[in-house]
A = this chain, B = another copy of it.
Amino acid sequence: MGKKAVVLLSGGIDSSTTLALAKSEGLDIYALTIDYGQRHRPELEAAARVAKSMSVREHKVIRIDLRAIGASALTSDVAVPKSRTAHEIAHGIPVTYVPGRNTIFLAIALAWAEAIGAADVFIGATAIDYSGYPDCRPEFIEAFQKLSNIGTKAGVEGRPISIRAPFVSTPKSDIIKTGAALGVDFSLTHSCYDPAHDGKACGKCDSCLLRKKAFAQAGLKDPIVYVE
């Protein structure tokens, strides 16, 4: 059995490929999905499907209701933007930004890593294509690494837990190529932000648009079904 690693798994392309990468290093995978009250519930089912398909050691779902905090189109009754241009998507912080989300997710992952003695925490954050989220940037990952070194028993005792975001500077089309090479079954993943289509992808929200474009750039067929 390899060293343990906690992998944040949302059920999308980036986190599923991150999990596959961690597994390819021979790590023993503890997948962590946060049920934060996201309106796009199919994401949670996708995470379970992906975890199962990748034979992880354990898949834990932790609930924390960020709807109580609000202020995001992903948790509140704010319209998910549709049909934005690549330029619009790449500039400015969108209404789908969830305040503090990756800070909370990494904090929970760090706690679990420390509890089980894992040496690594993986997150599929990526700053490319979608630069609007402040907590998806390399400097955020670095700041969290410092916090991890200082704020944990493991760090204080000289066994710091590594915060790894292997795709933080990778274009999504390259993440898809890597995932395909590592055997990720993208038909199991879910990216759409819109909760209105019974588990199918809307094809028009920022997340769908970026996914479709990235598959096209990668020269691969996206195996999921779009409403239109």
- Tell me the A residues contacting B by CB distance below 8 Å: 60, 62-66, 68-71, 93, 97-104, 106-108, 110-112, 114-116, 134-135, 137, 139-140, 143-144, 146-147, 150-153, 155-156
In the complex, the chain B residue whose C-beta lies closest to that of A97 is B153
Complex partner residue of A107 from B100, B112, B139, CB under 8 angstroms: B100
A186 to B116, CA, bound (A): 37
Q: Is the CB of B115 within 8 A of A69?
A: yes
Counting chain B CB atoms within 10 Å of each CB, the highest count among A68, A97, A100, A108 belongs to A100
User: What is the CB-to-nearest-CB distance from A133 to chain B, in angstroms, rounded to a whole number?
Assistant: 9
Q: Is the CB of A134 within 8 A of B108?
A: no
A107 to B115, CA, bound (A): 19
User: What is the CB-to-nearest-CB distance from A38 to chain B, in angstroms, rounded to a whole number?
Assistant: 14
Q: Is the CB of B134 within 8 A of A143?
A: no
4 additional A-B pairs beyond A69-B108, A103-B147, A147-B147, beta carbons within 8 Å, are: A104-B111, A107-B107, A146-B146, A146-B147
Complex partner residue of A99 from B111, B137, B140, B144, CB under 8 angstroms: B111
A163 to B112, CA, bound (A): 24
In the complex, the chain B residue whose C-beta lies closest to that of A60 is B68
Q: Report B-chain residues with C-beta under 8 Å of the C-beta of A70.
A: 115
Q: Is the CB of A143 within 8 A of B151?
A: yes
Q: Is the CB of B153 within 8 A of A147?
A: no
Counting chain B CB atoms within 10 Å of each CB, the highest count among A63, A101, A115, A152 belongs to A115
Q: Is the CB of B135 within 8 A of A139?
A: no
A139 to B148, CA, bound (A): 12
Complex partner residue of A135 from B103, B140, B151, CB under 8 angstroms: B151
User: What is the CB-to-nearest-CB distance from A61 to chain B, in angstroms, rounded to a whole number?
Assistant: 9
A156 to B62, CA, bound (A): 29
In the complex, the chain B residue whose C-beta lies closest to that of A146 is B143
Q: Is the CB of B101 within 8 A of A104?
A: no
Complex partner residue of A100 from B100, B114, B139, CB under 8 angstroms: B114
In the complex, the chain B residue whose C-beta lies closest to that of A156 is B134
A140 to B134, CA, bound (A): 21
